[in-house]
Amino acid sequence: MVDSDALVMPVLVLNLGGEMIYILRQRLIAQKIHGSKAQKVLDDMLREICAEGFIDTLFLPQEVHPMKSVRKSFDRLAHCSTMKLNQSSMDRLFMLMVMVFKYQLLMCKCPREIIEVMLNHVTGMLNTAGTPELASMLTKCSEKNSSSVQKHVLGSRDLHTTHSVHFISGSQGQNYHSEHESSMHGRVCKDA
């Protein structure tokens, strides 16, 4: 096992990144932004999130970064595409990302569920990818995440099988949010 802080940054960044993509996707739909233009915005951001050097660095042992530093990273991410957000919009977006992720953390009964939330976000980003090349990059990112998490947190247990069960059973929708999120209070973790 590894120090408990070793996976804080990957969990934080990938969950916030997944929420950012989900929120922006919903906003683009609500604002009736045309499909190809909206997809380009999302693909540009996804490409930045799953860039190999970024992911490799994210999983290196490191101290937990201050939230101000994390926020700056997401400011840069939000502006890597043709879409530009003003300060007020970025403030609201980041506040919503953090609020939703905090809620998801509070709903978790054990560490395994936190990892499932992260993998849910990565799966959602994969489902949002608009090109096969980007889908391939996200798949590699997902495999690296799963392998690191499995190695450091879960030992030799098969994480892909358990995570896939949610998708196959229909408890995880195409929008990558679990249909059972609100019922997590009643669940008991077998790994706790």
**Residues 31-84: tens digit of each pLDDT:** 998 888 999 999 999 998 888 788 778 878 888 889 999 999 999 888 888 788
Q: Report the residue count for the chain.
A: 192
Tens of pLDDT along the chain (192 residues)?
445 566 788 888 889 999 999 999 999 999 998 888 999 999 999 998 888 788 778 878 888 889 999 999 999 888 888 788 899 999 999 999 999 999 999 999 988 888 889 888 888 898 898 888 888 888 877 777 666 666 655 554 444 444 444 444 454 555 444 444 434 444 455 544
Dist. CA 26–CA 163, nearest whole Å: 24
The residues that bridge with 178 in the sheet, in sequence order, are 172
**pLDDT one-digit tens code per residue, 31-43:** 998 888 999 999 9
CB 85 within 8 A of CB 78: yes
CB 100 within 8 A of CB 19: yes
Q: Which pTM was predicted?
A: 0.75
Q: What is the SS3 assignment for 172?
A: strand
- Extract the tokens encoding 189: 């973790």
